[in-house]
Amino acid sequence: MNSAVFPSRLIQGYRAFRKDRLPLEERRYRVLAEAGQRPQIMLVACCDSRAAPETIFDAAPGEMFVVRNVANLVPPHDPDGEFHGTSAAIEYGVMALRVRHIVVMGHGRCGGVSAYLSTKAGQAPLPGGDYIGRWISLLKPAEALACDDPAAEADRQRALEFASIRQAITNLKSFPKIAALEEIGEVELHGAWFDISAGDLWVLDQATGRFEVAAP
Protein backbone atom coordinates (compact mmCIF):
# COMPACT_ATOMS: atom_id res chain seq x y z
CA MET A 1 0.00 0.00 0.00
CA ASN A 2 1.28 3.45 -0.89
CA SER A 3 1.98 5.40 2.29
CA ALA A 4 3.22 8.59 0.58
CA VAL A 5 2.37 11.77 2.47
CA PHE A 6 1.51 14.89 0.48
CA PRO A 7 4.39 17.41 0.83
CA SER A 8 3.79 19.69 3.81
CA ARG A 9 5.48 22.58 1.98
CA LEU A 10 2.70 22.51 -0.61
CA ILE A 11 0.00 22.51 2.05
CA GLN A 12 1.67 25.49 3.72
CA GLY A 13 1.86 27.30 0.40
CA TYR A 14 -1.77 26.56 -0.37
CA ARG A 15 -2.84 27.92 3.01
CA ALA A 16 -0.85 31.09 2.38
CA PHE A 17 -2.53 31.39 -1.03
CA ARG A 18 -5.99 31.02 0.51
CA LYS A 19 -5.22 33.53 3.24
CA ASP A 20 -3.28 36.21 1.37
CA ARG A 21 -3.73 36.02 -2.39
CA LEU A 22 -7.12 34.50 -3.08
CA PRO A 23 -9.07 37.26 -1.27
CA LEU A 24 -7.38 39.81 -3.56
CA GLU A 25 -8.10 37.87 -6.76
CA GLU A 26 -11.29 36.03 -5.95
CA ARG A 27 -13.28 37.88 -8.60
CA ARG A 28 -10.59 37.24 -11.24
CA TYR A 29 -10.70 33.51 -10.54
CA ARG A 30 -14.48 33.49 -10.74
CA VAL A 31 -14.47 35.29 -14.10
CA LEU A 32 -11.75 32.97 -15.44
CA ALA A 33 -13.74 29.93 -14.33
CA GLU A 34 -16.96 31.13 -15.97
CA ALA A 35 -15.64 32.87 -19.10
CA GLY A 36 -12.54 30.78 -19.74
CA GLN A 37 -8.99 31.92 -20.35
CA ARG A 38 -7.98 34.40 -23.04
CA PRO A 39 -4.28 35.11 -22.49
CA GLN A 40 -2.57 37.33 -25.03
CA ILE A 41 0.86 35.81 -24.40
CA MET A 42 2.14 32.27 -24.74
CA LEU A 43 5.52 31.69 -23.16
CA VAL A 44 7.75 28.71 -23.93
CA ALA A 45 10.14 28.31 -21.02
CA CYS A 46 12.43 25.80 -19.33
CA CYS A 47 11.30 23.49 -16.53
CA ASP A 48 14.06 24.87 -14.31
CA SER A 49 12.69 25.71 -10.87
CA ARG A 50 14.88 28.82 -10.69
CA ALA A 51 13.28 30.55 -13.67
CA ALA A 52 9.51 30.55 -13.18
CA PRO A 53 7.90 32.82 -15.82
CA GLU A 54 4.89 33.78 -13.70
CA THR A 55 7.27 35.04 -11.00
CA ILE A 56 9.71 36.80 -13.35
CA PHE A 57 6.92 38.67 -15.16
CA ASP A 58 4.71 39.17 -12.10
CA ALA A 59 1.83 37.60 -14.02
CA ALA A 60 -1.68 37.27 -12.67
CA PRO A 61 -3.80 34.15 -13.22
CA GLY A 62 -5.00 33.99 -16.82
CA GLU A 63 -2.42 36.42 -18.21
CA MET A 64 0.03 33.94 -19.74
CA PHE A 65 -0.28 30.50 -21.28
CA VAL A 66 2.97 28.84 -20.20
CA VAL A 67 4.58 25.85 -21.92
CA ARG A 68 7.59 24.42 -20.09
CA ASN A 69 10.04 21.72 -21.07
CA VAL A 70 13.71 20.88 -20.60
CA ALA A 71 15.83 23.68 -22.15
CA ASN A 72 12.82 25.62 -23.53
CA LEU A 73 13.04 23.79 -26.86
CA VAL A 74 10.59 24.01 -29.75
CA PRO A 75 10.70 21.02 -32.11
CA PRO A 76 10.15 21.74 -35.81
CA HIS A 77 6.67 21.08 -37.19
CA ASP A 78 6.41 17.31 -37.71
CA PRO A 79 2.88 15.82 -37.62
CA ASP A 80 4.04 12.20 -37.74
CA GLY A 81 1.44 10.66 -35.44
CA GLU A 82 3.80 10.40 -32.46
CA PHE A 83 3.35 12.10 -29.08
CA HIS A 84 4.32 15.78 -29.25
CA GLY A 85 3.51 17.51 -25.96
CA THR A 86 5.23 20.82 -26.67
CA SER A 87 3.90 21.06 -30.22
CA ALA A 88 0.38 20.22 -29.01
CA ALA A 89 0.54 22.97 -26.40
CA ILE A 90 1.81 25.49 -28.96
CA GLU A 91 -0.94 24.48 -31.38
CA TYR A 92 -3.56 24.91 -28.65
CA GLY A 93 -2.25 28.34 -27.67
CA VAL A 94 -2.31 29.57 -31.27
CA MET A 95 -5.47 27.94 -32.59
CA ALA A 96 -7.73 27.69 -29.54
CA LEU A 97 -6.60 30.57 -27.34
CA ARG A 98 -5.52 32.82 -30.24
CA VAL A 99 -2.55 34.30 -28.41
CA ARG A 100 -0.99 37.39 -30.00
CA HIS A 101 2.57 36.95 -28.74
CA ILE A 102 4.75 33.86 -28.46
CA VAL A 103 7.83 34.35 -26.29
CA VAL A 104 10.64 31.80 -26.04
CA MET A 105 12.52 32.41 -22.78
CA GLY A 106 15.77 30.69 -21.91
CA HIS A 107 17.93 31.26 -18.86
CA GLY A 108 21.47 31.15 -17.57
CA ARG A 109 23.11 27.96 -16.27
CA CYS A 110 20.54 25.83 -18.11
CA GLY A 111 20.95 22.17 -17.18
CA GLY A 112 19.64 20.96 -20.53
CA VAL A 113 22.16 23.05 -22.45
CA SER A 114 24.91 21.92 -20.09
CA ALA A 115 23.92 18.29 -20.67
CA TYR A 116 24.12 18.78 -24.42
CA LEU A 117 27.58 20.28 -24.14
CA SER A 118 28.65 17.33 -22.00
CA THR A 119 27.76 14.98 -24.86
CA LYS A 120 30.27 16.82 -27.03
CA ALA A 121 32.89 15.77 -24.50
CA GLY A 122 31.82 12.13 -24.81
CA GLN A 123 29.74 12.02 -21.63
CA ALA A 124 26.20 10.72 -21.29
CA PRO A 125 23.70 13.58 -20.80
CA LEU A 126 21.93 11.67 -18.03
CA PRO A 127 23.40 8.25 -17.18
CA GLY A 128 20.65 5.65 -17.25
CA GLY A 129 18.11 8.08 -18.73
CA ASP A 130 15.78 7.13 -21.58
CA TYR A 131 14.53 10.48 -22.86
CA ILE A 132 16.86 13.42 -22.18
CA GLY A 133 19.50 12.52 -24.75
CA ARG A 134 17.11 12.43 -27.69
CA TRP A 135 15.27 15.54 -26.52
CA ILE A 136 18.33 17.74 -26.19
CA SER A 137 19.56 16.58 -29.60
CA LEU A 138 17.17 19.28 -30.81
CA LEU A 139 19.97 21.68 -29.83
CA LYS A 140 22.19 20.50 -32.66
CA PRO A 141 21.07 23.15 -35.20
CA ALA A 142 21.50 25.82 -32.52
CA GLU A 143 25.05 24.65 -31.93
CA ALA A 144 25.94 25.72 -35.47
CA LEU A 145 24.39 29.14 -34.81
CA ALA A 146 26.32 29.45 -31.55
CA CYS A 147 29.61 28.89 -33.36
CA ASP A 148 28.94 32.11 -35.30
CA ASP A 149 28.44 34.08 -32.08
CA PRO A 150 31.52 36.16 -31.14
CA ALA A 151 30.81 35.35 -27.48
CA ALA A 152 30.96 31.60 -28.10
CA GLU A 153 34.67 31.24 -27.44
CA ALA A 154 34.44 33.02 -24.09
CA ASP A 155 31.20 31.39 -22.90
CA ARG A 156 30.01 28.38 -24.89
CA GLN A 157 27.13 27.74 -22.52
CA ARG A 158 25.63 31.22 -22.82
CA ALA A 159 26.23 31.35 -26.58
CA LEU A 160 24.29 28.09 -26.99
CA GLU A 161 21.51 29.30 -24.68
CA PHE A 162 21.11 32.40 -26.86
CA ALA A 163 21.33 30.39 -30.09
CA SER A 164 18.75 27.87 -28.90
CA ILE A 165 16.23 30.68 -28.43
CA ARG A 166 16.85 31.92 -31.97
CA GLN A 167 16.51 28.37 -33.28
CA ALA A 168 13.27 27.86 -31.35
CA ILE A 169 11.83 30.94 -33.04
CA THR A 170 12.90 29.56 -36.42
CA ASN A 171 11.18 26.27 -35.57
CA LEU A 172 8.01 28.11 -34.56
CA LYS A 173 7.90 29.54 -38.07
CA SER A 174 7.90 26.00 -39.46
CA PHE A 175 4.34 25.61 -38.12
CA PRO A 176 2.18 26.66 -41.10
CA LYS A 177 -0.49 28.30 -38.94
CA ILE A 178 2.06 30.37 -37.02
CA ALA A 179 3.86 31.40 -40.21
CA ALA A 180 0.57 32.50 -41.76
CA LEU A 181 -0.51 34.47 -38.70
CA GLU A 182 2.88 36.14 -38.37
CA GLU A 183 2.74 37.11 -42.04
CA ILE A 184 -0.50 39.07 -41.51
CA GLY A 185 0.60 40.53 -38.18
CA GLU A 186 -1.74 38.57 -35.94
CA VAL A 187 1.06 36.76 -34.09
CA GLU A 188 4.44 38.13 -33.03
CA LEU A 189 7.43 35.99 -32.03
CA HIS A 190 9.89 37.09 -29.36
CA GLY A 191 12.98 35.82 -27.57
CA ALA A 192 14.19 36.46 -24.03
CA TRP A 193 16.84 35.14 -21.65
CA PHE A 194 16.85 35.39 -17.86
CA ASP A 195 20.08 35.77 -15.90
CA ILE A 196 19.36 33.84 -12.71
CA SER A 197 22.34 35.17 -10.77
CA ALA A 198 21.67 38.86 -11.51
CA GLY A 199 17.90 38.83 -12.02
CA ASP A 200 18.31 40.57 -15.40
CA LEU A 201 16.07 39.95 -18.39
CA TRP A 202 17.71 40.03 -21.81
CA VAL A 203 15.44 40.57 -24.82
CA LEU A 204 16.19 39.54 -28.40
CA ASP A 205 16.42 42.44 -30.84
CA GLN A 206 14.85 40.99 -33.96
CA ALA A 207 16.60 43.50 -36.22
CA THR A 208 20.14 42.76 -35.05
CA GLY A 209 19.72 39.23 -33.73
CA ARG A 210 21.41 40.28 -30.49
CA PHE A 211 20.19 40.11 -26.90
CA GLU A 212 20.05 43.34 -24.91
CA VAL A 213 19.31 43.84 -21.22
CA ALA A 214 15.80 45.19 -20.66
CA ALA A 215 15.60 48.40 -18.66
CA PRO A 216 14.69 47.58 -15.04
What are φ and ψ of residue 66, in 5° steps? -105, 130
Is residue 78 part of an annotated ligand binding site?
Answer: no
Is residue 110 part of an annotated ligand binding site?
Answer: yes
Gap between the Cα atoms of 9 and 11, Å rounded? 5
Q: Which residues pair with 68 in a beta bridge?
A: 45
Gap between the Cα atoms of 118 and 137, Å rounded? 12
Using the 8-state DSSP alphabet, how is residue 193 labeled? E
Is residue 48 part of an annotated ligand binding site?
Answer: yes
First to last CA, the chain: 52
Cβ count within 10 A of residue 146? 24
Report helix, strand or coil for 43: strand
Distances (CA, A) of 122 to 11, 56, 155, 182: 43, 35, 19, 40
Annotated binding-site residues for Zn(2+) read 46, 48, 107, 110
Annotated binding-site residues read 46, 48, 107, 110
